[in-house]
Amino acid sequence: MNTEANDRKIKLQLRDMSKLYDNGDGVAHINLDIYEGEIVTFLGPSGCGKTTILRAIGGFLDVTGGEIAIDGQNVANLPPEKRPTAMVFQSYNLWPHMTIYENLAFGLQLRKHPKAQIKQEIEDILKLVSMPGCEKKYPGQLSGGQQQRIAIARSLLLKPSVLLLDEPFSALDAKIRQQMREELKKIQSDLGITVIFVTHDQEEAMSLSHRIVVMNKGKFEQIGTPTEIYDKPSSKFVASFIGEMNFVPEKNEIVAVRPEDIEITEPTNSDYVGTVQLIMILGHYVSVNIAYKDIEIKCFMVREEAAKLKEGQQVGMKFQRFQKYGQE
């Protein structure tokens, strides 16, 4: 997104929001602005609080304190059906005894839309999610990816101010997940809708998001663009959670360096000298493990360069780009 943040309309604000469970778990003092037309992903390990925040925004959990403002209105005390949000779950939640048309029409019928308008809107939304002509089928006749497309279409028909997605692709296989990410990003771009996405999959977060909120133990570790999070992780936790990272102890610090940021050189005149342990060809690039002191350092190389290496060979390493963190 090229527009400056202060020129954009704030779509959703979390102000000092808390949701604490009886056992003391949950999230507290959450503050975040999400802008119109933005995909923001909450990313973190299981139990870090990301789904708690999403469900609180959708009204499926009562908050313990604070405000949830959408388009400037505090919705924290409203039930889900009174909020301008729509939620897509991991399990598609389609009614198996209804046709696709009936599944999609249900919410619009409750809102008393005219029949002709419902028919036209369903036709349009099925084209948008690349599923035209499937109105008479039942959910059981569709693949997982197709069912999730319909679940997203059903949510979009309600024209929510904010679309909430709770790990929607985690039940799908890798290839379909990739397709679904591309579909979602295209739909979001076409409609300009604001999307909040929850996942524990860093690749999914990196590929989809305008901004990522990395969470750990109920707290925000870092908020930034995928590039910022990847290139300048603000903590050792973020560095270890996003992408592959080598951690090299050095005096009172830890040097964090990504495999692609290491240049393999001659052992002479190098601060880091090690022995090649393992060479693995991974398609267009090669992964090389180098034993250095009592750790292994992983490097990514182009195939032509890696062809010169042999296991057992002594090599030097130059760290082209790195971060430093204090010893824990």
Same domain for 65 and 193, yes or no, is yes
In DSSP terms, 96 is beta-bridged to: none
CATH of the domain at 232: 3.40.50.300
Q: Are residues 290 and 181 in the same domain?
A: no
pLDDT of residue 63: 94
Query: Which tokens in the block code for residue 156?
Result: 């979009």
Q: Are residues 190 and 281 in the same domain?
A: no
Domain boundary among 207, 237, 267: 237
pLDDT on residue 180:
85
Backbone region of residue 300 per phi and psi (left: phi > 0; alpha: psi in -120 to 50; beta: other values): beta
Read off the CATH number of the domain in which 278 is found.
Answer: 2.40.50.100
Q: Rounded distance, CA 138 to CA 140, Å?
A: 5
Q: Are residues 21 and 127 in the same domain?
A: yes
| 106 shares its domain with 212 | yes
According to the model, what pLDDT value does residue 281 have?
93
Q: Choose the final residue of a domain: 204, 237, 270.
A: 237
How many separate domains does the chain show?
2
What is the pLDDT, as a whole number, of residue 174?
A: 83
Residue 6 pLDDT: 56
Is residue 74 assigned to a domain? yes
Judgement on whether residues 158 and 294 belong to the same structural domain of the protein: no
Model pLDDT, residue 90 = 78
Query: Are 142 and 204 members of one domain?
Result: yes
Q: Is residue 242 part of a domain?
A: no
The answer to whether residue 214 is domain-embedded is yes
For 151, the domain range is 5-237
Domain contains 69: yes
- Asked whether residue 245 is domain-assigned, the answer is no
Q: Are residues 41 and 112 in the same domain?
A: yes
**Within this chain, do residues 153 and 45 fall inside the same structural domain, yes or no?**
yes
Q: What is the pLDDT of residue 89?
A: 83
Structural domain includes residue 79: yes
| Dihedral sign from CA coordinates of 93, 95, 101, 105 | negative
Decide if 158 is inside a domain. yes
Distance, in Å, from the CA atom of 283 to the CA atom of 259, rounded to the nearest integer, reads 16
Residue 144's pLDDT is 86
> Is residue 203 located within the same domain as residue 310?
no
Q: Which residues contact 207 (CB under 8 A, 6 or more apart)?
A: 181, 185, 226
**Is the distance from CB of 196 to CB of 155 less than 8 angstroms?**
no
Residues paired with 74 in a beta bridge: 69
196 part of a folded domain? yes
Give 3-state DSSP helix, strand, coil % of the chain, rounded to 5: 30, 35, 35
Query: What is the per-residue pLDDT for 179?
Result: 86
Q: Please tell me the predicted confidence (pLDDT) of residue 1.
A: 45
**Residues 155, 208, 10: CA angle, nearest 5 degrees:** 70
- Shortest CA distance to 33 belongs to which of 223, 295, 205? 223
Same domain (yes/no): 212, 109: yes
232 and 263 both lie in a single domain: no
- pLDDT tens per residue across all 328 residues of the chain: 444 455 789 999 999 999 998 888 899 999 999 999 999 999 999 889 999 999 999 999 999 999 999 999 999 999 998 999 999 887 778 899 999 999 999 888 888 888 999 999 999 889 888 889 899 999 999 988 889 889 889 988 888 999 999 998 888 888 888 888 888 898 899 889 999 999 998 999 999 999 999 999 999 999 999 999 999 999 999 999 998 999 999 888 999 999 999 999 999 878 899 999 999 999 889 999 999 999 999 999 999 888 889 999 999 999 999 999 987 6
